[in-house]
Structure 1
Amino acid sequence: MAATLTVWKFPTTTGADTAAQTLKDVQTEGLITVHDAAVVSWPEGAKKPKTAQLHSLTGAGALGGAFWGLLFGILFFIPLLGAVLGAGIGALTGSLTDVGIDDKFIDRLKSEITPGTSALFVLTSDATLDRVREHFDGQHAELLSTNLSREQEAALREVFAD
C-alpha cells in the first residue's frame, strides 16, 4: 500500500500537539499506520517555527532527521541561507520532487504555516479514512496532502535515510 505524506494545519500554536496525541490514539486502535511524523509550532512574534520529529509515534523514525531537516529548511529557513547554499538547493529540492513533493506543495505550505499556527506532518499508510476523520472532529484542522506511490516512498526512504 502506498504511503501518504499528510500535513494538518491548525489555527493555534498548540493544535498540532493535540492532534499528535489523537494520531497516537488512532494508531493504537489500528486505524492507521504511522511511518514517521513531525510537529511544527510557530509562536506569534517568533522569527521561525519550532520543529520536532515525533519518535513517540514511530520508534526511531522511518525517514530520519535528514528528511525533516531538509523539508523544514526549505519551508522556513532557506531565505536566511540564500546564497550560502547556492546551487546545492536545486539538487536537494530535486530530491524532494523525485519523491512526490513538488514546488506547488512547498509553496502552499510556506504560505499557510505562519506565525500563530502549527502543523502536524505525517507519513502514513493503511488508513481507514472515515474512522480517522471522526477522531479529529472539533480540532479545526485544515488538511493538505500529497500521495506518494510505493516507488516514491521507497525513493524517499533511500534519499533521506540517516
Structure 2
Amino acid sequence: MADLIAIGYPDEATAADAEREVQRLTGELIIQPDAVAVISRDREGKFHVSTNHHAVGGGAMWGMFWGMLFGMLFFVPFFGMALGAGMGALMGRIEKSGIDKTFQRQVRDMLQPGTSALFLVVEKVTPDKAVAALSKYGGTVLKSSLSKDTEEALQEALHGQPAS
C-alpha cells in the first residue's frame, strides 16, 4: 500500500529544503518515493510547483498525477493542462481514489499564502531514520493511505496498464 504524505511548512522555502533532504535519504534507501512534489504559495496566493520523478515511476505520467491532484485540491490548473477526455478520466480516478475529503480539506487549509508543502507518494520508508532526518525542518504531517485497488486504478490511468 502506498501513502500520499503532505508535510506543510510555515514559509515558502522550507519544503524545497526538505525535498533536497528526501533526495539524500533516497540515495541512502531510507525513503523510496515513487514521486515527490513541492508546492509553495507566495504572499499573493499564487501557487508554484516543482516535481521530481524517478525513471521507474514514469516521470511524465506522475506529472499528470500531480497536476490533477493539485487541480482537485486547489482548483488551479497545473502546467496549463487542458482537461481533455483522457485527463477527465484521470481526474475521475483521482477523485474516487480514496484520498478522503478530510485529507483534501486539511491540505487546502494548510497551504495558505506564504507557506509551502512537500508531497510524497511512498511505499517503502525506514520511519525512524526518515523522521530523524526530516524533523529538523519541523512542519505539519498529513497522510492518506492509498489502497492497493486505488494504486492499481491510478497506475492503470497513468500508464494505460495495470501495475505489475
| TM-score tier (shorter) | 0.7 to 0.9
2:47 to 46, 49, 52: 49
Change (3 A) 1:92 1:103: farther
Q: What TM-score do the two structures reach when normalised by structure 2? A: 0.80
2:141 to 140, 143, 153: 143
Q: After superposition, what is the alpha-carbon deviation per residue over 1:49-83, rounded to whole angstroms, capped at 9, x for unaligned?
A: 1012213xx235284222111111122235xxxxx
4+ residue stretches of structure 1 with deviation over 3 A? 90-94
Contact 1:98/1:155 (<8 A) preserved? no
Cα offset for 1:91? 6.9
Partner SS, residue 30 of structure 1: coil
Measured in 2, the distance between the counterparts of 1:154 and 1:11 equals 34
Contact 1:36/1:62 (<8 A) preserved? no
**Structure 1: 5+ residue runs without aligned partners?**
79-84
- Give RMSD over aligned pairs: 2.5
Cα offset for 1:48? 2.1
Number of residue pairs matched? 150
Cα offset for 1:93? 5.7
Cα offset for 1:157? 1.5
Measured in 1, the distance between the counterparts of 2:123 and 2:3 equals 6
Change (3 A) 1:18 1:130: same
The equivalent residue for 2:18 is: 19
**Structure 2: 5+ residue runs without aligned partners?**
77-82
Contact 1:36/1:124 (<8 A) preserved? yes
Contact 1:11/1:117 (<8 A) preserved? yes
Tell me whether 1:108 sits opposite 2:109 in the alignment.
no
Q: What TM-score do the two structures reach when normalised by structure 1? A: 0.81
Measured in 2, the distance between the counterparts of 1:62 and 1:156 equals 14
Partner SS, residue 138 of structure 1: helix
* Percent identity of equivalent pairs: 33
Structure number with higher strand proportion: 2
